[in-house]
Structure 1
Amino acid sequence: MKPKKLIMKNFGPFIEETLDFDQVATTGLFLISGKTGAGKTTIFDGMTFALFGETSGNLRAGKEMRSMFASPSEETSVSFTFAHQSLFYEILRRPEQILSKKRGDGVTNQAAKVQLTIFDAAGKELKQLSKRNEVDQFIKELLQLDAKQFFQIMMLPQGEFRNFLIATSNDKEKVLRNLFGTQLYQGFNEWLKEQQKAQNKTLEQQQQLAEQLLSRFDWQQEQPVFSTAEALEAWTADLEQQTAAIATMQTQKSEIDQAYQKTQTLFYQAKERENLRQEQQVLLEQQTALEASAPMINQKKHQLEALSWAAEKQPIWQRRMEKDAAYRHAQNQAAAAQDQLRSIQLQQQDWQAQRPIIEQRKEALEQATMKQRMFDSLLPIAQQAHKQQQALSDLRQEAQRQQTKRQAFEREESQFAAQQAQWTAEIEAAGNHQTVKIQLLECKNLLEKWLEIKEQYAKATADHQQRTVQEQALINKQTHLDKQAAALTVTLKTETSQNAKMQIARLQLLLEPDEPCPVCGATDHPNLQAHASYTIEDIMESEQRLLRTQKELTTAKEQLSANHTLLQQCQRQLAETHTLIEERQQAKEKAWQALFAALQVLEDGQAKITEATAADYLKQRMIVLDQQTAAVQKAQQQLQTLAQQQKMISNEKQVLIEAEAAVTTKQQLAEGRMAALMEQLSGYSIQEIETQRLEIKKLIQQQTNEIDSDAAQGAELEKSTVILSEKVDNLQTFSQEKRQEWQQANKDIDGFLQEAGYTEVQFEALLSGLSEKEALSIELKQYQQDLYATQQRLATLEQRLADAEPVDSEALSEQFQQLEATREQMQEKIIQKQEKRRNNQLIYQELHMIYAQNVQAMDQLSQLQQLAETINGENSKKTSLERYVLQRYLEEILIVANARLARLTRGRYQFELADKVGSYRSSTGLEIDIYDDNAGQVRRAHTLSGGESFIAALALAISLADVIQAKAGGIEIEALFIDEGFGSLDEESLEMAMEALEMIESEGRMIGIISHVRELRTRITQQVFVETNGGGQSQIRIKE
């Protein structure tokens, strides 16, 4: 993926800026420079926002990037074009933002929007996506990166990787954790700690519960115990003793139960004989009472026979009563019908008397009907008049509203005229603010130039002071080296002389007669001098000292020569610096004079400005000017808005006047139609017509109902007379029939009464006693049953009592009660023992279960502790699981970085992952060492110089980006942005860094350096300047 073009509208400090990467990156390497806070990094934020809807580092939301200088109606947007595999992609994204409404006042909240267009190599559009989720998913699948990973690959932050290079393992771990997402391992470690805490807490709770159980066990024979296992073993034996004790007690109870059962049988047999004797006595008394009531029973038998005969004849008597009641009812019905017939005949006479009144009602009904027709014809006219009156009222109200609105428009026109005059006066009062603005910008440029020269002067002065100190140090060193060389020369002469003596002595010792002398060549040696005796070792040691002194003298002379060269160079640089100071001094004074002259022009020669106050004065004037400019712009916008509103109101007023004339015409026509309708109504209003119609309708209905009711009454009376006449005749015939049936029933009753010798009064008395018949029958039957049962039971009792043997009931009862009490006491003791054993058994089982769980939990806790210690790095390697995983990632990064570092350092340096176990875990596992091929040994990373550490950090950072990119499986990113990192480099280190960047550039990457370091401007030809206007806005300018 290679950036092509970036367009930012109302984004951050930019109003509308375009950055064409093809134009600035023709050589691959370009510089983005500007003052701190100008918006250099915002360029990368724009690319990140366009792709992902987030800013770099996700420090600010997209809607927070809207420029504070944007007008309310202009939207914020970022367009980013990039190329990949012969295709071009253009993505346009707008954040959520609040804009003024296009129509009317107020604001509207515009939702976030995005649009992605894909083109082929010829620029032909292939596809366009506009749904946010669809575009985001496409970008994610295309790049295989999220915003965070994109930032990590494309942007090298200020000094972060240089710090990473020399950071401890702990600090590296934090960085790599975020890059490779290994928080899972850290979280797993924390989870293990929580599991340990939970397991320990569970064990403590279980132990507390076990202690409670130990105190609750009810011993058969208590024993001292010192552990849960001992308690369980002792409890097992104690439970067996309790079981044996219960078995013994149950055996004793069984013997008591047998004696109890035997005594109980004898006791109940004696009790039964006593009950039989008591029963026999009661039955004898009952038999006597039954025999004494025999006469009364016989009398009741005769009474029952008479009642049975009366019950047999009762239907005949009942039939006579029914016939009598039917005959009386028929007579009553015939009499009532006769009375009704007479009443109907009287009503017919009254109806005939009302005939003249009915005729009068019919005449009044005809008159009311005619009057109703008249009012029915007037009603439509009255309704039309009512509608016309309502329309006329609406027209009058509309005319009044239009008049009121027209007056309001006229008032607004007056107000607009006053506001227009006010804002026009404000604009005129602002006067020449544009001229002042130009002068201020010129002053600002002069100020920046003066400050730059002043800074150069200060730097040259500091360099001069530093060179002076350096010169003095070199002079001191020169003096020291001169003395050292002189001393070594004297030493060398002494050592040479001494060595010569030793050599002569050695040669003298070796002289042979007739042999030529190696010094003079003579063969005779008559005058051999006496010399000190020197051994070979002394001579060799002297020669070594001589060689060392010669070497030291040579080194001293070389150092002296080198120091002399440095001193000459320093003095030459000191002279150049002195010349530069004078030039900068003159340039500074000249720049200040130009600035002061411009400020005097700005203030008409009245400015009292010094070098110390110039910057603050100019800054204050710029603030005032910005305020004036904003006020003028606001007044111009308001004046433009006012003109539009005036035009709108004028148009609306004209429309209103025309509408007012049309309403007046309609009102006049409506009044004419209203007068014609009122003449037709003859003074009747619609309310009067409707009231009269309702009253007449009600009268007609009333008269009609009365006439219809009278006719219906006459017909009903005639019909009732005929029906009642027939009914009277039928009822009289029915009454005669019922009389004959009643007479026949009387004859039947007289016949059976005479036969039985009863009168009607006696028979009625028997009938009244029939309710006692059933009770008498039951009583007689019960008497016979009681007498028979008593006699039979007495016979049985006599036989059973004759066969029974006599016993002592009281002694037997006392023995039975004693056995029963003993049996109950024994049973209660057994239950108590069983309950005690059951509770103990439950306690034993619960403790045994807790013990088993604790054993298992302790084993799990031990495993958790071992696992936690291993994962947490408490091992011989002092390496946690997470750090082990990160080691593998780091090794992979270092392999990639070494290939690049070898090329950047011409094979001198290689990264190595230190395998040495440190004193602490914080310094073990992720330490990076540097193998120096020149020295043939490994050295610590922090021993690298500034330029070397920059190169190493650059290689490491780019390789890290490559690995992250490879892990993500994304497309190839052909661009890299380096944010600062150059300000702390000296000239030599900066030179090394530039050489490294040029080598990286040769890989085909587009490299953008974001920096404000001045030296880079002379080194990098392709440059993008981010310039501020002093008010917070920024513009992008490409160096031509």
Structure 2
Amino acid sequence: MKIRSIKLKNIHSFKGEVAIDFENGPLAQTGLFAIIGPTGSGKSTLLDAITLALYNATPRAGVLSKASIEKTGAIITRNTEDAYSEVEYDAGGKIYRARWEISRARTGNLREYDHSLATKDAEGVFRNLDLKRKEVAVQNATIIGLTYDQFMKSILLSQGEFARFLKANPKERSALLEKITGTGIYRRIGMKAFEKQRDQKLLCDQLQQQLGTIVMMDEETRLQTEEQLKVLKKEAENHRKLSGEINQQIERKKQLLLRRTTLQEVLDQIEKLTQKQQEQQGDAERLKLHRTLLPLKSDIDRLLSLRHKLLEDGEEESLSKVRLQKLQDEIKNSKNQHAAAKQKSEGLTLEAQKMQPVFDEVLQLDKQLDAHRTTLQHIQKQILDIDKETIQTQEQQKTLGSALQAIDEKLANISRFLEQNPVLEKLPDALPEITNEIKHATAAGELLIKQINAALPAQELTAATSSVEREKLLSEQHQQLTTHRQQLIDAMGGKIITTKEILDQIRHLEKLLSGIIKLLQLLGEKEVLRKAEAKTEEELKQMNEQVAQAMKNCDTSSKAIEIADSRLAELEATKTRQALEANYEQARQLLQPGQPCPLCGATEHPFAEGRPAHVSDIELFIKKQKEEKTALAEKLKAQQEQLKIAFSEVKTREHTQATQQQRQKELVVEIKKTENLLPEDVAANDVSALQSQQQRAEMDLAKAKNNLDTVQEFLALEQNIKTVAELTDKNSALLLQEQNLARLLAPYAVYLSECRNDYVKISKTLANQLHYYRTAIRQQQEKKEEKTAVDTKIENITKRLEELALAKGNLTKEQQVQQTKFTELHEQRVGLFGEKDVAAAQRDLTQRQRAAENQAATLATQLARSETAEANENRQLLKLGEEIEKRSKESEALEATLQPQLAAANMVSVKEAADALLPAAEARRIEEMLTAHDKATSQAEFQRKTLQGEIDELQKNDDAALTAEMLVEKKTAADEALDQNNQRTGDLRRRLQEHDENTKRHSKILQQLKAQQKEYQRWDTLNRIMGDAQGMRFSRFAQRLTLLHLLGRANQHLKKLSARYILINEGNENEDELFVIDTLHGDERRSVNTLSGGESFMVSLALALGLSDLAGKKTRINSLFIDEGFGSLDQETLDTALSTLERLQHETNRTIGIISHVAALKERITTQIELTKDAGGRSSIVVRG
């Protein structure tokens, strides 16, 4: 595979289109070229463009997507709308063109990228292959024969990494080889094998532990238990039968008592219903009269309505006559007012015609007066403007005079300042030297203070404010430290103990103390566990008792539910019988007089009326019984849940007991193991002795640590003495700098009296004085120029004042002439019309004329409206009279018809009959009340008969000789016997159930264990072969194979580069793994660490080429790039490296590009791709041959 050309647009720092052609131009004439340019100019972007076009990935960003580009802002140049990368290459005798591109929509959002692949046909035209976007990278890999990772290792030589590989120690070399060759997967596989084996072993152990906790009965015990259970079951049946018979007798007595009580309640209800019937007699009579008058209700209502309407019509007739008289009066007044208004309008019209000539003449005079008034106002404004400008100009003249005086005073002050400070004239030249000296002295002082603070932070040296004071304090400090050093030597007995001796003693004591503490902890845990076991045993006993009690409660509740079911069945049968009787009652209500009965055919039905409805309250009893049964079922469910919880608690306690016993065994082993690690003189089983030995060991350890502190203090003191000596030398040098600076500052002492030795204040003060001096010089020149400008302004202002005075005189004369003409015209106007406003007089006359006309028109309209209303009122009055006559006749006829009918009902008047009629709601209420009373009476009577019949039936089967108390005692005795039987039965069943569950569980876990052991054997075998915790076993094996193949490939390339050396791998624990055999010196074996710079470059280049061959497999990459390794080479080594690359290119006929910013490459490699970067960070390319 060989790259023919690269094209890109708006990729990273390249804005616009860029093209590199390897088939034409300077790059086609040579196989070795340099890609040079400053850092950040885009050298590595060329490699990004190649992999982007081929694989949609880059070394820096990985595989790309629209989302990743938007998130990171990578690839596309900022502030551009589209980008592409295109690579043309040949492979397998064909030419291909891979293109990657992306663009933004009008909204600014990125569109999905496009990836395409085209092949060149015989006509030289590229035609796109039919591939989806995500298939292009795969197709490129297939054509080239390399995946992305393989391509990167093949095209980009990792020579720099191999150079570090050669210089590294064995441990670092292993990590580098794994990184370079990408063999980290083998280490992860080894780690995974170890982890899987460990997990499978843990599962086996857990299953084995579970088997040990399962307890089962032997076969003989199981058979005996089942036989006992059969005997107890027969006894339980007898007990339950006896208990059921007693329950029936008790229930019969309860039902008898209940029905007698209910019967008394029904008798009381019948008595109350009889009393209520008497109270409702009045309402019944009212309802009867209402029903008699109900057929006449419509006629009565119509008659009353006619009478009411006649009264309203009479009132309306009277009102209509009053309105008619009022309208006639209004018509008469309107005619008089209309005639007067018309006469007034005609008089105002004559007055307007007479005054019009006068109005016209006055208006002409007003126009002339307005013109003269405007002229006078304009002249007056001009005079005022001149006066205003005159005043302002005079103010300016005065201000400029004051400014001129201030300028003269300022110039005098500046001259005095310069005369009084002649030394400042030399300050501009002297200040840079002074500032430099201050800078160096300040830096040296700050560094010295920082060193003092770091070395001796707790000493009073840090508070010294001058070098002289520090010199004295440092001398005193050195003397104190020397004295204290001698004291420490005396305290150690005149001998200096080494830190290693004390540390060995501390480690021994810490190990002993750790063992004693661990043994005490294990003994304490053993004692706590013993108490916990006793507590668990007691809890297990209590849990078993709770299980027995819960089983007893469940059995009691089950029996109660059976009794409730029996009673409910009896009630349902009674309900069915009463339903049949009720059906006959309903059919009896349907019989009609004279019609045959559908059942017997009789036409007379003596019992069709008066019999109560057969309605029973048996539903109430059934509902109550069901509620009792539901409550019992809920109680049984709760008891069963309690039993389940109790079983679970027993199992939990048993598991806890087994765990505690297992932990006891483990503690015995751990205690024995810990005892073996302790010295023989340690009392392992005596807690008190162990505690005493612990105290002695802690005291010895504290003493050893105290000795360690003394030695460390001595070492620190030695370092402090050395540090103080070094600081004294540095302070002396600083003192000389300060003396030289004082000589330079002497001429300016008058300005520095308040600064003392504060260099910051001194620099600031001298800078201020220099600023004052320069400011004075600048201001002196500025003020002189300013004085000249002010003199010129004063002269111009004087001329302007003279011009303003002349103009004001001319305007005053013109004003007098205009005023005379205005006075003459005004007198003429007053004589003709006075001071009155002509326009206002005209408007007033017009308004009065218009008002008179409007009033006449309004009165005419009002007169017509009143006449119309009079005609309407006459018609309405006539119609109303006709209606009154019609209603009177209808009322008289209706009253004549009703009177005989009302008399028959004993009604004197229509009003009385209307009052006797009830409202519909009231009539309905009384009727429903009477019906409900009849129904309640029938139901109560039927209930009385039913209850009496049930009482008689119950008394037939009841044994009066047995009281309820006697039956309860017999029931209690039977239940107790049954409870004891249930308790024994439940215990046996629980034991059998646990046995069955444990048998199934044991079998299941055993099967799981066998399967798990088989799975564990597989992973254990694999782990023994290749696994360990760090994955190094399999990694070392894979690296040895990889290195073997790599060295074979590398030696092939090394032989072409230099026949002198051969790389071999003879690693052991004491020597480097890699060596070279020098064939020119008798096959001498040398470590790769002894190679020179040029030799290391050749060897590392051979390794990189070997890795490229391995990664490329059978694919030959004819385009190579080297992106590192030249910046650190000296000139001689660089020449050797370049010669090696030239020889490599010549022998392999490959195109080799060297990416670097080393300037010497420009001289050796004349063919260059030069990259430059402008001020905006944009890159450009120039190909030089």
Common fold: TM-score over 0.5: no
The one of the two structures with greater contact order (alpha-carbon pairs below 8 A, sep at least 6) is 2
TM-score using structure 2 length = 0.37
Point out the structure with max Rg over C-alpha. Answer: 1
TM-score (norm 1): 0.41
